[in-house]
Amino acid sequence: MILHKAGKEVTYMRQESFKKILLYAVLILTTVVMIGPFIWLIFSSLKLQQDMYTIYPSLIARDRATGELYITFKNYLEAFQILDFPNLFKNTLLVAIINTLVNLFLNSMAGYAFARINFPGREKIFKIMLISLMVPGTVLLIPNVLIVKMLGIYNTRAGLIFPFVMSVYNVFMMRQFFFGIPASLEEAARIDGAGRFRTFFEIALPLVKPALVTLGIFTFLWNYNNFLWPLVVLTDQQKYTLSLGLGSLITMGSSKYHILVASSVVVALPLIVIYMMFQKYITEGIIAGSIKG
Amino acid sequence: MESSHLAYLNVKEIKPKKTGHNPLLNEKNREKLTGYLFIAPLIIYFLVFQVAPILMSLYYSLTVWDMRKSPVFVGIQNYASLLFDNLMYPNFWPSLWVTFKFILIAMPFSLIIPLLLALILNRKMKGQAFFRTAFYIPVVTPGVAVAAMWKWILDSMFGLVNIFIKNTPLVNVVIKPHSWLGEVGTALATLAVMAVWGGLGYNILIYLSGLKIIPGELYESAHVDGASGFQKFRYITLPMLKPTIFFLVITGFIGHFQVFDQMYLLTKGGPNDSTLSYVLSLYNHAFTYYEMGIACAMSYILLLIILIVTLLNFKFVPQKVDD
């Protein structure tokens, strides 16, 4: 009886470990599909042009005459000559950082007011704002170009910033986060005579710091990645962002892959590093966002 | 609305008042003022960049306008021409059809594959965090860099995909090398696969958050009743994931419907307009042909389609109780 049971246990365990191996195989295969292309991209960027064009490639560059393995940064030097990367980075970071900071400040102020301050029409205003969430960005694309022209900020960095200087969705998220912290602390401060501004800055805001980090990262990533809006608002190459600069390289049509490949590593790598650093906040942000839906 | 007024009164009654002449009125007004002050930037932003554009494009959608001369009011002519005049606007229906095909190809994969992977990752395996992180990298990578990457990997001569197909026995019998983005038969499907790949990590996270809130007791009692793994999935996991799946369907539909970047960068709508998506067509009308009236009408039709889908969502998706 006991023996029989033990035998059953062994087959069960064998089944389980087989299953485990199978599942890991699936995960590893998926990993190859998901990050394999990036690894290939990076290694391609370290090859000389002539060694990229082969139908028997190796991951690490191999000299086609001697067969020796090597690494070269020549493509990067060339890429920096074709695209003005320092300027592209400057433009991108300028726009992304200003937009992120202003977004955090203004969105959390509005979110706080909707969560904590009582004023007539509060719920009504908030509901009207929420309806606007149903309007997708591309619907506003063309009229916003017209607005930006009317404001005289077409083809300027300000034109990249202003239309996205706030976000109704982020106001909604901030309101949720402020609901999530106990009001008692703020009330205590207010009894002690602190005004709304001070309670907001000194008590409420520090309590939602993780939320600010999460929303800040998302706003930054979105601005860094955005392609369509800069495409329709900027004509002056001097003001191009990284996405736009790289985009123009792709659409120029000349298939100089060694430059394209090195340039896309330059554009993508900083963001992947940032993602790795703040990975936790991004994951949590998405999960919070989807639950609140 | 009424409840907020009541709450407002209640709060005022409970709150201890400081001494001073007529403190009630002062503080009340100050509170109101502060509230409006806090949301003032939002109101201005909302009016300038949300309300004004919507109203403006409604007006311009009823005009003919090339941005040089002043707009000429023509009523609903733009809408009528787009919908019924195939000679003047031959791309309208095809671009809608291309977009729907794109969604139809991408959607099933971007729902099923991430679900399977989320189920695996939900098993508390070693390295779970690593895999989750790895799968999410394509989501945070700039779309333009991803486009450049695929352009290289899908190159018909020296791209890794075709080299892999050519050099791998068995595989080269089943699949032939293609100019993946250059042939009418493969271009749209290739872009759809790229979209599935790009959104996989995000969808996995959404599924994981959905799986996390399924109470463990359900599985325990099913286990006691002798349910098999598949039965548990069929009768517990799947029904409990319904809101998550609906969420992904709706956001996926809205997101895919606005697909632009990859088409603009990699195919320009070609070959033979086979990848001319709706938003790319809209972009062309506005910024290549300078038909602002038509472009605005297309924006409104886009808005209408998305509103219908969103309202269907509200109608059929079980609304969760707000915390």
Instruction: Calculate the average pLDDT of chain A.
Output: 88
Task: Kindly list the residues from chain B whose CB atom is less than 8 angstroms away from the CB atom of residue A200.
Answer: 38
Residue A239 has a pLDDT of 94
Contact assignment for A125 to B43 by CB distance below 8 Å: yes
For residue B171, the Cα-to-chain-centroid distance in whole angstroms is 34
Per-residue pLDDT tens for A99-142?
999 999 999 999 999 999 989 999 999 999 988 888 888 899 99
Q: How far is B87 from chain A (nearest CA, A)?
A: 24
Phi, psi of A27 (to 5 degrees): -65, -40
Q: Please tell me the distance from the alpha carbon of residue B293 to that of residue B78, in angstroms, as a whole number.
A: 7
Q: Please tell me the distance from the alpha carbon of residue B257 to that of residue A138, in angstroms, as a whole number.
A: 10
Q: Please tell me the distance from the alpha carbon of residue A278 to that of residue A41, in angstroms, as a whole number.
A: 23
Roughly what angle, to the nearest 10 degrees, separates helices B143-153 and A257-277?
Answer: 130
**Which sequence spans correspond to the domains of chain B?**
19-79, 84-316
Spans of chain B, pLDDT less than 50: 1-20, 321-323
What are the distances in angstroms from CA B47 to CA A115, B51, B205, B320?
21, 5, 34, 30
Name the residue facing B41 among A53, A106, A129 (closest C-beta).
Answer: A106
Of 3.40.50.1860, 1.10.3720.10, 3.40.50.410, 3.30.2130.10, the CATH number of B84-316 is 1.10.3720.10
Which H helix or E strand runs over A122? helix A122-132
- Could you tell me which of A237, A212, A134, A94 has the C-alpha nearest to residue B250? A134
Q: Please tell me the distance from the alpha carbon of residue B267 to that of residue B281, in angstroms, as a whole number.
A: 13
Could you tell me the pTM of the whole model? 0.88
Residue A103 has a pLDDT of 95
Q: Specify the amino acid at residue A270.
A: P
Q: Please tell me the distance from the alpha carbon of residue B267 to that of residue B273, in angstroms, as a whole number.
A: 9
- Could you tell me which of A165, A140, A289 has the C-alpha nearest to residue B251? A289
Identify from B42, B180, B194 which residue to disrupt to test chain A contact, counting A C-beta atoms within 10 A and taking the largest count: B42
Which H helix or E strand runs over B73? strand B72-73
Q: Please tell me the distance from the alpha carbon of residue B122 to that of residue B208, in angstroms, as a whole number.
A: 7
Q: Which residues of chain A does CATH 1.10.3720.10 include?
A: 84-292
Residue A194 has a pLDDT of 80
A254: DSSP letter: -
Residue A180 has a pLDDT of 85
Residue A140 has a pLDDT of 92
Q: How far is B262 from chain A (nearest CA, A)?
A: 10
Residue pairs spanning A and B at CB distance below 8 A: 288
CB contact at 8 A, B128 and B121: yes
Name the residue facing A257 among B141, B152, B282 (closest C-beta).
Answer: B152
Residue A131 has a pLDDT of 87
Which H helix or E strand runs over B63? strand B63-64
CATH class of the domain defined by A84-292: mainly alpha
CB contact at 8 A, A142 and B292: yes
Band (A254; pLDDT cuts 50, 70, 90): low
3-state SS of chain B: helix, strand, coil percent to 5? 70, 0, 30
Q: Please tell me the distance from the alpha carbon of residue A267 to that of residue A89, in angstroms, as a whole number.
A: 9
Residue A6 has a pLDDT of 64
Contact assignment for A137 to B258 by CB distance below 8 Å: yes
